Amino acid sequence: MIEVLIVAVLVIWSAIVVFKKVFPKSAYSVFLRLSKACEQLGWHGLAKWFKPAEVSGCGGSCGCSATEPKAKVEVQSVKWK
C-alpha cells in the first residue's frame, strides 16, 4: 500500500515538472490562478507555494529559470610542451 502511494506521488510530481517545462506559459497561468484561489480562501501559505516565479530577462518562453544563477565560464589557455 505504501509503495503505491510513493509511486503515485512521484508520478504526479513528474507530471507537474514536465508540464512546467513543456508548457511554460500555460503552467504560469494555471499556477497563478491556483495561487489567487488559495489566497481568496485564506490559505496564504499554500498560495505562496503555488505562486509562480516572476519572469525576468528572456520573456519566459525559452524555458530558462529566473532563479538559476548563470555560471561564469572561465577561459583557460592551452600550454603546449
- Cβ neighbors of 32 (< 8 A, separation 6 or more) are 51, 52
Residue type present at position 15:
A
Q: How confident is the model at residue 45 (pLDDT cuts 50, 70, 90)?
A: confident
Task: Give the residue from 8, 34, 10 showing the smallest Cα distance to 26.
Answer: 34
Q: Domains of the chain: which residue ranges? A: 1-81
Percent of the chain with pLDDT over 70: 79
> Mean of the pLDDT values across residues 22-39?
91
Residue 63 CA to residue 27 CA, distance in Å, equals: 11
Using a cut of 0.85, tell me whether the model's pTM lies above it.
no
SS3 content of the chain, % helix, strand, coil (to 5): 55, 0, 45
Q: State the average pLDDT for the chain.
A: 82
Angle, to 10 degrees, between the axis of helix 24-41 and the axis of helix 2-22? 120
